[in-house]
Amino acid sequence: MTRTEAGQVAVVAFAQSRHERATDGSSEVEMLLPVLRDVLDRTGLSTGQIDFTCSGSSDYLAGRPFSFTMALDGVGAWPPIAESHVETDGAWALYEAWVKLLTGEAETALVYSYGKSSAGDLPEVLTRQLDPYYLAPLWPDSVSLAALQTRALLDTGATSERELAGIAARSRAAAADNPYAQLRGGSVDADAPPADAYVAQPLRRHDLPPVSDGAAAVVLAAGRTARRLTARPAWIRGMDHRIEAHSPGARDLTRSPSTRLAAEHAGLFDPGAPPVDVAELHAPFTAQEVVLRNALRLGEETAVNPSGGPLAANPVMAAGLIRIGEAAARITRGEARRAVAHATSGPCLQQNLVAVLESDGSAEDGSAEDGLTEGGEGA
C-alpha cells in the first residue's frame, strides 16, 4: 500500500435528484436509489467495484432511527463492503472518503447523502442540533438565527436589503438552467423596492432557501483510475474544514474566520494559483453569501452559484455535497479550470468546509499531464 499524493484524487462523477418540496411518498432509499444508479452509470462501475462507501444524513430530518442503515439497501452491501457514515452533510462524508483515498487504502469511493425534510418541521428540527443547556430550551429556529446574523451584517453596512434581494434574484435566475433545482427562474426584481413581506425581519421570503427533499452522490477516484473513469477529472487540489465556537453570541456573525482558515489550508490563496472561475457556496440565506465571498476573497471574476445554489434547492444533508458536485461538474464540462466549493454545518455558518478543484493543466507546476498518470502508484 502506497499513499496517494494530495491532488491526485478527483471527482469523476456526480448525480443528484430533482429536488422538490416533498417527494411523492417515497422512502429515503427509494429517493436515493435512482441517484446511486445514475452516478455509477456515469463511471461504468458496479457497486462491487467501489472500494469505500461513505454517506451523510441525519435521522432527525425524517424521524427514522438508523435510516442510514436502510439507505444501505440501495448500495448493494453484500458481500460486505467497507462503509462509513457521518451524521452531517455529505460534504464531510466526501472529506472522509478523500482521506481514505489519500492513505492508498482505496482507489475508488462512493459518497452519497440525502435529506427528507418534508416529514418534519425543518426549522424546529434544526433546533435540536443546538447546545442543550443555553440554546435548545429556547427552541430558536434556524430562520430566526439566520435573521440575527443578517441583522448583524446589515448593521455593519457591509450589505443592504437591496443587495440581498439581488443575490436571491441572481440565484433563482441562474437556476432556470438547472433542471434539478426546486425554485427556478426570476421571481425577484432586485431593482424594485422589496415587495416580499418580512418572514423574520430583516429576512424576507426571498432571503430564505426552499425546504427540499433530495439526494446527491459523487464518485471519487485516485490517479490513473480517475483518468480511466472520465476524460476530465476534477482534481481535488486541497480540502479542509474548520469550526468556530457554537454559541452565536460568542462569535462575530459578520465574519467567517473558519471559512478563511479552511480556504488557506485547501490552497485557495496559494501564490501564483490561477483565478477561481466558479464558486459554489453553501449559503442557504442570502446574507451568508456576502460573509462567504469576503472570507474566500472572491472577486468579480468568479461566478458564484451558477447552479442557483441552496437558495434554489436546499436538501439538508445533501446541499453541501451538491456544491462540490456542481463545482466539479463545471470542470468536467470544460466550463471552468479552477473552482472552489464550500459546505457548512451548524447555526450561522458555525462549521465550514472548503475544497479547491482544478482541471488538468491548470496547476502552475505544469506536471499535471504526466505526473498525474502515475496516480495511486506515486510517492
In the complex, least distance from residue 375 CB atom to another protein, rounded to whole angstroms:
27
Binding site for another protein (CB under 8 A): 24-30, 33-34, 36-37, 47, 60, 62-64, 70, 72-78, 118-121, 123-125, 128, 132-141, 144-145, 147-152, 155, 198, 200-203, 245, 247-250, 253
Query: Considering beta carbons, is residue 14 or 112 the nearer one to another protein?
Result: 112
Task: Kindly state the smallest distance separating residue 137's Cβ from another protein, in Å.
Answer: 5
**Distance separating alpha carbons of residues 152 and 149, to the nearest angstrom:** 5
The amino acid sitting at 130 is: L
Closest distance of CB 257 from another protein, Å: 12
- The Cβ of residue 28 has, within 10 Å, a number of other Cβ atoms equal to 25
Q: Measured from the CB atom, is 130 or 339 closer to another protein?
A: 130
Give the separation between CA 100 and CA 107, rounded to whole angstroms. 9
Cis previous bond, 193, omega within 30: no
CB of 46 to another protein, least distance (A): 9
CA atoms of 355 and 98, how far apart (whole Å) = 11
**What would the grid cell of residue 176 be?**
432556470
Q: CB of 206: closest distance to another protein in angstroms?
A: 16
Minimum CB separation of residue 138 from another protein in Å reads 6
Residue type, 348: C
In the chain, the amino acid numbered 379 is A
Q: Which is nearer to another protein, 5 or 51 (CB)?
A: 51
Q: Nearer Cβ to another protein, position 61 or 278? A: 61
Distance CA 304, CA 309 (A): 8
| Residue 136, all three cell numbers | 435548545
Q: Select 119 or 176, whichever has its Cβ closest to another protein.
A: 119
Closer residue to another protein, CB minimum distance, 50 or 331 = 50
Are 339 and 331 in contact, with CB atoms under 8 Å apart? yes
C-alpha closest to that of 249 among 95, 138, 367, 371: 138
